[in-house]
Structure 1
């Protein structure tokens, strides 16, 4: 029942994608996650099922979703170059038929519910607090901080150097630290549930949501790499940076995803 409720919440919020197709996976994503977190706090708070760690994780979902959704909304309305890039990278929806829009809507809402499902199932299964839950919450918080710091760093850098490649701060560690932060966030969520998942369905939902968001983040890193390869093709500094800096995972010499056509984007 709890999973169905958060799925319906995600459906309602992500419906903003019917206004602009890309919002299914951008603004609708962020605010859907925030809505799921708020729903968990209200629903299980009224039923007396919240523990300290689940309340913290639900609150982190709200923080994560509001920060991401708000950041994307502000960037879209303030940055004409960002809107142009996203319209070129992803269909703006003008040619997308209604059946495909409906499929995208339902698929995205289901993904968002599955991503948060380890927290949902911990509450639904009346599981207490354990070391795994605390560890997962800590990893989740670290991911949100990392992603927020990366976005802030890039935003400040671009204000001063609008046409230069951002390679300062966390961008010295990996070329896509914001996507790394996203993966770490959902790794924490997934880890928090591994001791309490009950039955095949709960495992499928939790694993499916986690693997899908990781796949999407790797695809986003590939899409960014392809765009930068065109934009900075003649820049020797970019070539050195790309040749020596991992694209997504620190300390692992995976420096390019351009040939990984199986990734989204």
Structure 2
């Protein structure tokens, strides 16, 4: 396995998610988007004048689009949305007293996670695997994920302007209650699919699979925590429970309505 190449990606991720030292939550938000976008750029640089497939280019560009869209949206929301500033402040409660070594561990851990998540495309490039169905299928799934995330953010923002006292319930939110997290899952599912048939050995597959499973866990846990928060904020409204009890929380057409009742 090309550990030197993976080390370069790790250093890239470290550099761009270091914004977490400014605000701890940035390790997992703005720094996350910036690190993924930077890794996408690094993959393009790695393959400069040596691309075996156009699929690598497409997959790398999708990472760049995904990362910059996410980081840009989060920064815009923080600057323009007073309620979101309060959410960030609440999320940061207690983190200002964290010791520097703990922050360094978090920094390194998140950077490693981002390398794991993006590694399927790296292995396809490093192993010089030619185009096949999986690279384009993966790119299509990732592109769909970006579209869903973008639409979900826009729809939620528009609905909140009309009714700030209720969760978004229209558009994509009429299909699932957390379409932004669904889009995130689809994006990384696509990246994982891009690596199928590209692994040179079982170690490469395990490396990528661990990253995929970890991000799935993070998204499901995020949906669970969001539901707990919404139950607290809107639980006194009958219309909220009518919506929550009849709209799947994360996966469309799968009748899983509540994660808050699932034990950790």
Q: TM-score range by the shorter chain?
A: over 0.9
- CA-to-partner distance for each residue in 1:65-110, whole Å, 9 max, x for gaps? 0000000011112222112123324546212111111111001000
* Contact 1:22–1:91 (8 Å) recurs in 2: no
What is the alpha-carbon distance in structure 1 between the residues aligned to residue 97 and residue 79 of structure 2?
Answer: 22
Aligned counterparts, 1:25-104, within 5 A: 25-46=28-49, 48-49=50-51, 51-91=53-93, 93-104=95-106
Among 248, 251, 258, the alignment partner of 1:249 is 251
Q: Which residue of 1 aligns with 2:214?
A: 212
Aligned counterparts, 1:143-154, within 5 A: 143-154=145-156
Q: Which residue of 2 aligns with 1:179?
A: 181
What is the alpha-carbon distance in structure 1 between the residues aligned to residue 262 and residue 204 of structure 2?
Answer: 30
What is the alpha-carbon distance in structure 1 between the residues aligned to residue 205 and residue 151 of structure 2?
Answer: 32
* Contact 1:20–1:92 (8 Å) recurs in 2: no
Q: Which residue of 2 aligns with 1:21?
A: 24
With normalisation by structure 1, the TM-score equals 0.95
What is the alpha-carbon distance in structure 2 between the residues aligned to residue 128 and residue 92 of structure 1?
Answer: 49
Secondary structure class of the residue paired with 1:250: coil
Cα drift, residue 210 of structure 1: 0.5
Matched, 1:112 2:114: yes
- Which ranges in structure 2 are unaligned for 5 or more consecutive residues? none
- After the TM superposition, which of the residue ranges 30-39 and 90-99 deviates more from structure 2? 90-99
What is the alpha-carbon distance in structure 1 between the residues aligned to residue 219 and residue 207 of structure 2?
Answer: 18
What is the alpha-carbon distance in structure 2 between the residues aligned to residue 100 and residue 198 of structure 1?
Answer: 35
Q: Which residue of 1 aligns with 2:225?
A: 223
Distance 1:43-1:190 versus aligned 2 partners, 3 A rule: same
Q: Which residue of 2 aligns with 1:12?
A: 15
* Contact 1:122–1:196 (8 Å) recurs in 2: yes
What is the alpha-carbon distance in structure 1 between the residues aligned to residue 12 and residue 109 of structure 2?
Answer: 14
* Contact 2:146–2:184 (8 Å) recurs in 1: yes
With normalisation by structure 2, the TM-score equals 0.95
- CA-to-partner distance for each residue in 1:163-213, whole Å, 9 max, x for gaps? 222100000000000000000010011011111112232112211110111
Secondary structure class of the residue paired with 2:47: helix
- Which ranges in structure 1 are unaligned for 5 or more consecutive residues? none
- After the TM superposition, which of the residue ranges 229-238 and 81-90 deviates more from structure 2? 81-90
What is the alpha-carbon distance in structure 2 between the residues aligned to residue 89 and residue 240 of structure 1?
Answer: 28
